[in-house]
Amino acid sequence: MHELTTREPGVGGSLRKRGIKTVLWTLLVLTLVAVALPFSGYLLTESAQAQASGDDQNARANFWRAVREGSSGYSAVRSPEAGVLIQNGGENWRALRNGPMLTYATWLMAGTLGVIALFFMVRGKVKISNGRSGETVPRWSAFERALHWFTAILFLVLLVTGLSLLLGRMVLIPLIGKDAFAAYAGLAKDLHNYVGPFFSVGLVLEIVMWMRHNLPNETDLAWFASGGGMVGDEHPSAGRMNGGEKLWFWVLVVFGLTAIGSGLVLDFPVFGQTRAQMQWASLIHLGTTVVLTCFAFGHIYIGTIGTEGSFEGMATGRVDAEWARQHHDLWVKELAAKGIYPEPTSPPAPSGGTAQTRTT
């Protein structure tokens, strides 16, 4: 009995020590597991995300490829291509417009101005050979002049706003900064869009009104063959409109009406136009307006500083009789056949007075 009594405390102490060690090791392992568990979860998450990313790369590429191919989905909007998120032609349009078309347009307009400047330095102003006669003949009515200036002013507004939008990133942003250009561009775009339809009305009225005076004939061929009086000292015969004016008229008919049509397609995108049609309309509008602008440079030059006496017609409605005989001799004969003769240039009539008109 005594031996048993003396051994029991030793066995119990050993068991307690083992229990304590087991508890401590368990706590330590649990602590380590608790500490390590978040890291293992992070590693597992990273691995899963990497795996998912690898799996999704092709899926995402396929998705955007389908989008750019013009695949149509569902949209509550009822309009052409409303269900198409991205139309792939937009990138092609942007590259063409901001690439070769912008480059060629810039060089063509700059080259035209350069040729005109060089020509003026070599040729100078075309003078009235025999000097002013002191008499004038009527050339443009008040309505014709009002319509011309209405259309011309709107053309200049469209030219300035259109060119600033076309060349703004290249020319204006370095000068005035992005914020100022953004504010101006919004105004220029709205002005361009609203002025365009009014210009269209003016141009169509001009074409209808002056069509009968601009039909080509054999006289025009001779006029071009002799340089139109701009080259050399010869002044070829011409009717009310010479060959150069007729050429400008038909440029307005072909390129002007095309620019108007393409501009209206862009201005009113509510008549069923697709994005591809508007992209083509944009490129056509750019190309035709550039050609129109280059011819306009020549028209403005000849009508102002290029030829003595030309501007007076659109300013006052009358031109010097000697200018008319030099540039439009056949027209002067037509006027005489109608009983319209040159009138002396006189100082302003007294208040209430009227100028006398010779009709015999």
Summarize pLDDT for 97-115 with one digit per residue, the tens.
999 999 999 999 999 999 9
Q: For residue range 27-76, list pLDDT tens digits in order.
A: 566 555 554 544 444 444 445 455 555 444 566 666 666 666 655 665 55
* Cβ pair 339, 360 in contact under 8 A: yes
Structural domain count of the chain: 2
Residue where a domain terminates, one of 68, 101, 127? 68
Q: Are residues 58 and 93 in the same domain?
A: no
How many angstroms separate the first and last alpha carbons of the chain? 168
**200-211 mean pLDDT:** 97
Q: How much of the chain exceeds pLDDT 70, in percent?
A: 72
Lowest mean pLDDT among 40-44, 108-112, 218-222, 306-310: 40-44
E strand or H helix at 77: none
Q: Are residues 38 and 99 in the same domain?
A: no
Q: What is the DSSP letter of 343?
A: E
Between the CA of residue 179 and those of 161, 167, 192, what are the distances in Å? Answer: 17, 16, 20
Q: Are residues 37 and 143 in the same domain?
A: no
**66-87 mean pLDDT:** 61
**What does the alpha-carbon distance between residue 313 and residue 309 come to, in Å, rounded to a whole number?**
8
Q: Are residues 28 and 145 in the same domain?
A: no
Q: What's the pLDDT at 18? A: 64
Indicate whether 354 belongs to any domain. no
151 vs 3: which has the higher pLDDT? 151
Indicate whether 357 belongs to any domain. no
**What does the alpha-carbon distance between residue 158 and residue 262 come to, in Å, rounded to a whole number?**
14
Helix (H, G, I), strand (E, B) or coil at 320: strand
276 vs 241: which has the higher pLDDT? 241
Highest mean pLDDT range out of 51-65, 111-125, 267-281, 335-349? 111-125
**What does the alpha-carbon distance between residue 164 and residue 115 come to, in Å, rounded to a whole number?**
22
Q: How much of the chain exceeds pLDDT 90, in percent?
A: 57
Q: How confident is the model at residue 171 (pLDDT cuts 50, 70, 90)?
A: confident
Indicate whether 350 belongs to any domain. no
**What does the alpha-carbon distance between residue 99 and residue 304 come to, in Å, rounded to a whole number?**
34
Q: Are residues 59 and 207 in the same domain?
A: no
Q: What's the pLDDT at 90? A: 80
Indicate whether 264 belongs to any domain. yes
**What does the alpha-carbon distance between residue 173 and residue 167 come to, in Å, rounded to a whole number?**
9
Three-state secondary structure along 235-266? CCCCCCCCHHHHHHHHHHHHHHHHHHHHHHHH
Indicate whether 75 belongs to any domain. no
Q: What's the pLDDT at 233? A: 75
**Res 245 pLDDT > 50:** yes
Q: Are residues 130 and 170 in the same domain?
A: yes
Residue where a domain terminates, one of 68, 98, 123? 68
Of 140, 151, 152, 266, nearest in space to 204 by CA:
151
Report the length, in residues, of the chain: 360
Paired strand residues for 318: 138
Q: What's the pLDDT at 169? A: 83
Q: How confident is the model at residue 155 (pLDDT cuts 50, 70, 90)?
A: very high
Q: Are residues 62 and 93 in the same domain?
A: no
Q: Are residues 109 and 46 in the same domain?
A: no
**Res 323 pLDDT > 90:** yes
Q: Are residues 126 and 21 in the same domain?
A: no
Q: Are residues 265 and 153 in the same domain?
A: yes
Burial 223-233 (b: 16+ CB within 10 A, else e): beebebbeeee
Structural domain containing residue 36: 1-68
Q: What is the pLDDT of the chain when averaged over all its residues? A: 82
Q: Are residues 335 and 188 in the same domain?
A: yes
Indicate whether 221 belongs to any domain. yes
Q: For residue range 181-197, list pLDDT tens digits in order.
A: 889 899 999 999 999 99
CATH, residue 156: 1.20.950.20
Indicate whether 82 belongs to any domain. no
Q: Are residues 260 and 327 in the same domain?
A: yes
Indicate whether 128 belongs to any domain. yes
